[in-house]
Copies of this chain bind each other. A is one copy, B any other.
């Protein structure tokens, strides 16, 4: 029930950025939006979403700005795990993620790579915290379909070193990243 709501809000975000309608129509749309907010906010959790338990004993981070199914700001990244421990995903980035005209904001690339590298460094029961993230911009990333992947390069004591990149629809690498993660539980 929440995924279609999130998708509807994402379409509204896109329309909000791109609309060229007159002021009366904007005012009319805004009244509808405010009524929808009123309906949804009538009963709500007191703070941010956080991590909540599911009925089957798992947990969900549906508010997460990178992967949250209930967060319209999230593309969202739907992570796929490869057998070798690496993660990858293909996503479409529209007008909402723009920096230079027609291109993905460099900061959005950094956000995505931060999450991807963290996801690969993280192990169940042995959480990893980002120490340092270095992002190298090789060439501009056009808005549209992108591919991103990350993997652990090596472990050294409590440190895990991860690498990853973003590639465009033609498979050309546009942004590279490496990160150092700290796993307090490692030895």
By a beta-carbon cutoff of 8 Å, the part of chain A in contact with chain B is 1-2, 4-6, 8-9, 11-13, 15-21, 23, 25-30, 32-37, 39-45, 47-51, 61-66, 68, 70-73, 94-99, 101-102, 105-108, 110-115, 118, 129-137, 143
Contact = CB atoms under 8 A, between A and B. Distances in A.
Given A51-B101, A73-B73, 12 more contacts: A9-B13, A12-B36, A12-B40, A20-B43, A21-B44, A50-B101, A65-B96, A66-B99, A105-B111, A110-B133, A130-B137, A134-B135
Contacts of A110: 107, 110-111, 114, 133, 135
A27 to B, nearest CB: 8
A40 B65 contact: no
Nearest to A21: B43
Query: How many copies of this protein are present in the complex?
Result: 2
A162 to B, nearest CB: 13
A32 B30 contact: no
A107 B114 contact: yes
Contacts of A15: 36-37, 40-41, 44
B11 A16 contact: no
A41 B64 contact: no
Contacts of A64: 98-99, 105
5 contacts: A18-B41, A32-B36, A47-B102, A65-B107, A110-B135
A21 B47 contact: no
